[in-house]
Structures are given as C-alpha cells and as structure tokens.
C-alpha cells in the first residue's frame, strides 16, 4: 500500500511540474531594435535616400521593412 501511495504522489508531483510550463497568458513580444552607426556618411549617400550612383540593395530592403527617423539630428561622432 505504501509503494502504491508513493507512486501516486510522485505521478501527481510530475503532473504539477509539467503544468507549471502551461500558461494561457501569452508573453508580449519584445521589439527588435537595431541602431546602425556609420562614420563620415551623409543623408543622401545610400540608395534608399535617392543616391543614383551607390547601389545598396540590402540596406534598401532593410529600410523598406523598418521604421526610419528622417528628422533625427545628432552631433558629429566617430564610429568605432
């Protein structure tokens, strides 16, 4: 009888531990934030800003799929 009781208690304990990971509340996704810092680059130096001479297809696609801050002013800084 004691062995039977121990088996039932251990199975209930395992069941409770497995239910601990179950949750009806979904976690809110964290936003992905990427800041790109470049050195000695002007506003019109990339393809998505209208430069006809420089081809930057990957950066252009990245700009289409993201949010751009067009009126963002900073002081000059050197990138590492």
Cα separations in angstroms, 2 against 8, 10, 14, 15, 32: 10, 12, 18, 20, 54
Q: Name which of 68, 42, 36 is nearest 54 in CA terms.
A: 42
- For residue 20, the surrounding DSSP H or E stretch is helix 2-20
pLDDT at 79 over 70: no
pTM: 0.47
Q: Which pLDDT score is estimated for 61? A: 92
- Say how far apart CA 59 and CA 71 lie, in whole Å: 19
Q: What is the pLDDT of residues 11-61, one digit of tens each?
A: 887 877 777 666 667 778 888 888 877 777 777 888 888 889 988 899 889
The structural domains of the chain, with segments of one domain joined by +, span 30-80
Q: Which pLDDT score is estimated for 3? A: 77
């Amino acid at each position: 009888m004691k062995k039977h009781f121990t088996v039932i208690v251990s199975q209930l304990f395992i069941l409770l531990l497995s239910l601990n990971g179950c949750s009806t509340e979904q976690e809110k996704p964290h936003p992905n934030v990427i800041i790109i810092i470049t050195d000695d680059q002007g506003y019109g130096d990339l393809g998505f800003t209208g430069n006809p001479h420089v081809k930057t297809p990957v950066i252009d696609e990245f700009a289409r799929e993201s949010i751009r801050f067009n009126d963002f002013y900073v002081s000059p800084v050197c990138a590492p």
